[in-house]
Amino acid sequence: MIRLTRLRQTDPLYINPDHIERLDRHHETVVHLLNGTEYIVIESPEEILEQVTRLRASVIAMAARMVTEQNVSSEVATLADVQAAAASPGIPTIEEL
The per-residue pLDDT for 93 is 47
The per-residue pLDDT for 13 is 96
- What does DSSP say about strands 38-41 and 29-33: parallel, antiparallel, or unpaired? antiparallel
Predicted model pTM = 0.69
The per-residue pLDDT for 42 is 95
Cα distance between residue 97 and residue 8, in whole Å: 29
Cα distance between residue 11 and residue 34, in whole Å: 22
pLDDT exceeds cutoff 60 at 89: no
The per-residue pLDDT for 40 is 96
pLDDT exceeds cutoff 90 at 87: no
Structure-model confidence comparison of residues 6 and 64, the more confident one: 6
